[in-house]
Structure 1
Amino acid sequence: MRYNPYNQQGEYDHFVVSEEQPLLEFLLENVKQSRNKIKLTLQGRGIRVNGKTVSQFDFLLKPGMKVAVSKTKRNQTQFKSRWLKIVYEDRWIIVVEKHEGILSMAAGHSSLNVKTILDDYFKKSRQKCTAHVVHRLDRDTSGLMVYAKDMDTEQALEHYWHDIVYDRRYVAVLSGEVEQDEGTIANWLKDNKAYVTYSSPVDNGGKYAVTHFHVLDRTTDHSLVEFKLETGRKNQIRVHAADMGHPVCGDVKYGDGNDPIHRLCLHAFLLCMEHPVTHERMEFETPIPVAFRQLFK
């Protein structure tokens, strides 16, 4: 990845990876700093791997990768929010990991949303831009989202979304034991007057929706399932999971009351796209939430 996060400056120490190992382990072996300082540099987004900012301490390094470590104590305007993490940033786009419980953009009287948090961060870091919404995640869904930083980039992402984004995957905890290891659900989705999305096996004037699923783990009570979207319709995974007879846990709208961790168990963990301006292929991945995994120990 050629483009550095827009607001990072200062000098860097450069290293080349010789063996496969987690990032933190590599830094502790190669950087002459205390464990605490190294962790602060990671949190302050002062570490780059192959030009891309990485803040995940367990990011797996492979031989030949290039690691750059910021020498400056203050890498940038510190971004801290309990609602989201910045995963990647350059002058055109910003990729974030949204936590559950916050809207992607303003709706009605709710002022707290990802867009306003990002706009505040841009202002504080003296960037002359605002966050432009190009896709959404439900309030209670967590995971990866991309925002444009100018109107041209927003238009490119909006008009060519299906060409630009070549892979999007979610992980969910479903109610009950899904017997099939994998499969595809395809039908038509349409909202009723109460804004509840329902499905139909025949064309009901709604939008055709295709979801592929693959079971990662299961118990008699729950299933950990990866979903790959072929189409991106409103509430698609939640409705299709309910169609399978195994709704997403914690789903008050389409669920069956199974709520093991008191949240909607749906997380957008993978986002693969071609950069709308530089046309580089970029792949972003976040770990499966720990609370999801703990149900399958």
Structure 2
Amino acid sequence: MVKKNSNYRREAKSLKYVVEEPLELLTFLLNVMSNRSRNSVKSILARGQVTIDDHIETKYNYMLRPGQTVTILKNKAAIKQDVLIGMSIIHEDDDIIVINKEAGLLSIATEKEKNQTALHQLMDYVKKENPENRVFVVHRLDKDTSGVMMFAKSEQVKRKMQDNWKEIVKERTYVALVEGKVTKEKGYISSWLRESKTHLMYSSQTPNDGLHAITHYQLIQANEEFSLLEVQLETGRKNQIRVHMQDLGHPVVGDKKYGSKQHKAIGRLGLHAKVLSFNHPTTNELLLFQTDVPQSFLAKSS
């Protein structure tokens, strides 16, 4: 196996600004980019070239708070040629690519968005080396969840990973910023999850009423308003952590779909995939990838 750039990251020229007063994002950008037209600034926003602290932001009316850092990728040509927007590659070899995805970036295409996704960008990236190269989705992270995500570079590797997921994957650890003060140091939630016609996941205590899901959690830190939990998945069901945190009575911050009242507290969903550890599909080597807990999670729960 040939390793390539295990700490590879493509960087574009970017501008960073620290917010000094409450202001809507578009107004702020028009002030700091006074040489650009309103339409030009709107385009930069729409393309996902603006990040706030640890997430991509595209809403014109997003309310900035003092102390936040706004980063703007400023070179439009670089976007097309050299830059991975909303993600960075933390490991690549002949079989897999592991990325750190920012909140706000889709894993795969939807009806509304085809190009600004992790999969599409990685497909473009590998084709630069060889037009025949491809990338395949092994698992997904929700758009508003950040953290470690893996892709396969062949159909064979993808199938091997998916068919043997429980045996190959050794650890999946998340951190969740949740509402309220969690008083229990550690625990777990067990229920059966099923999906409604409107794609909402429901949790049931009736055995076999859906797919069995088990989530373990441990308290990292808390104050009266927010708690930071380390969460480990024993099973990997759709929206599992989000539903189980609602079951716990402490919904994930920013998760209106599953009971959050504090949906503007950090400007994003309070969920981050911190650790992914698995046996390499070809070499069987045990690999572990870890990303930093977003600063906004730590600040809110301290």
Measure, in 2, the Cα distance between the counterparts of 1:255 and 1:79.
40
Which residue is equivalent to 1:239? 243
Shift of 1:44: 5.9
2:168 maps to 1:164: yes
2:87 maps to 1:84: yes
Shift of 1:42: 7.7
For 1:226, the aligned partner's letter is: E
Measure, in 1, the Cα distance between the counterparts of 2:171 and 2:86.
24
For 1:293, the aligned partner's letter is: L
Which residue is equivalent to 2:3? 4
2:261 maps to 1:262: no
Residue by residue over 1:56-80, the C-alpha shift from the partner in whole angstroms, topping out at 9 and shown as x without a partner, is xxxxxxxxxxxxxxxxxxxxxx952
Which residue is equivalent to 2:214? 210
Change (3 A) 1:79 1:185: farther
Q: SS where residue 258 of structure 2 aligns?
A: coil
For 2:261, the aligned partner's letter is: G
Which residue is equivalent to 2:183? 179
Which residue is equivalent to 1:279? 284
Question: TM-score, normalising length from structure 1?
Answer: 0.74
Gaps of 5+ in 2: 12-80
Which residue is equivalent to 2:293? 288
Residue by residue over 1:271-297, the C-alpha shift from the partner in whole angstroms, topping out at 9 and shown as x without a partner, is 000000110000000010111111134
Residue by residue over 1:194-232, the C-alpha shift from the partner in whole angstroms, topping out at 9 and shown as x without a partner, is 111010111253100000000000000000001000000
2:106 maps to 1:103: yes
Shift of 1:81: 2.1
Shift of 1:262: 1.1
Change (3 A) 1:90 1:42: closer
For 2:83, the aligned partner's letter is: K
Which residue is equivalent to 1:114? 118
Measure, in 2, the Cα distance between the counterparts of 1:99 and 1:4.
24
Which residue is equivalent to 2:66? none
Q: SS where residue 278 of structure 2 aligns?
A: strand
Shift of 1:123: 1.7
Gaps of 5+ in 1: 9-40, 46-77
Question: TM-score, normalising length from structure 2?
Answer: 0.73
Change (3 A) 1:225 1:79: farther
Change (3 A) 1:43 1:195: closer
Measure, in 2, the Cα distance between the counterparts of 1:105 and 1:141.
13
For 1:186, the aligned partner's letter is: S
2:134 maps to 1:130: yes
Measure, in 2, the Cα distance between the counterparts of 1:186 and 1:193.
23
- 8 Å Cα contact 2:9-2:89 kept in structure 1: no
RMSD between superposed Cα atoms in Å: 2.0
Residue by residue over 1:73-95, the C-alpha shift from the partner in whole angstroms, topping out at 9 and shown as x without a partner, is xxxxx952231010100010000
Q: SS where residue 122 of structure 1 aligns?
A: helix
Measure, in 2, the Cα distance between the counterparts of 1:43 and 1:109.
28
Question: What is the percent sequence identity of the aligned residues?
Answer: 40
Shift of 1:193: 1.8
Measure, in 2, the Cα distance between the counterparts of 1:248 and 1:100.
14
For 2:100, the aligned partner's letter is: E
Change (3 A) 1:43 1:190: closer
For 2:201, the aligned partner's letter is: T
Q: SS where residue 124 of structure 1 aligns?
A: helix
- 8 Å Cα contact 1:173-1:225 kept in structure 2: yes
Which residue is equivalent to 1:224? 228
Question: Larger helix proportion, structure 1 or 2?
Answer: 2
- 8 Å Cα contact 2:133-2:153 kept in structure 1: yes
